[in-house]
Amino acid sequence: MSFNNFSKYKLLLASKSPRRQYLLKELGLNFEVRTKEVDESFPDNLKAQEIPLYLCEKKANAFDEELNDNTVVITADTIVWLPQTNEVLNKPENFDDAVRMLQLLSGKMHEVYTGVCLKSKNKTKSFYALTKVYFKSLTLQEIEFYINNYQPFDKAGSYGAQDWIGLVAVEKIEGTYFNVMGLPVKELYEELLKF
């Protein structure tokens, strides 16, 4: 199937994230944003990529009643994973939690995983992307400046790579940058073509 043929499908993006909406629009796709409140808890035994894969599938399953042969829902979930301590950093609960997370990331490499699920009435395809991000050491003053000015409370790991902190703290990345923004668009494009 060519990419142009994909227009016969109605695409639903189940995400409030302005970054995901922007990236999907940049792919040249027509889609509708439709979200549902889904409990984002997950079993404690899940590690690394297992967490966002579990959550994106959970989000997709919430649309079971609305899907038909020509409707495809796209769900995604991004986490920050500290391989040094096998710890997941989700969205911060408050200012102090954001400080704690950024102090954990300071001067270290961390992993960003995004799980994506494509689901129609009769077919489900899930995949993930991994990007390694290397942070320079940050001062408490830099961390507090960032949190006060950019309010990263809706972001996994308490930061957005496209924000000020991405400009000053990210020394290098291995893997796709767009994955760190919350949607691995190259991989999504390839999976949509196959779907």
List residues with catalytic annotation: 77
88 Cβ contact list (under 8 Å, min separation 6): 51, 79, 80, 81, 82
In DSSP notation, 131-188 reads: EEEEEPP--HHHHHHHHHHH--TTSGGG--TTSHHHHHHEEEEES-HHHHHT--HHHH
* SS3 per residue for 100-147: HHHHHHCCCEEEEEEEEEEECCCCEEEEEEEEEEEECCCCHHHHHHHH
Tokens of 83: 């391989």
- Cα torsion at 16, 20, 22, 26 (round to 10°)? -150
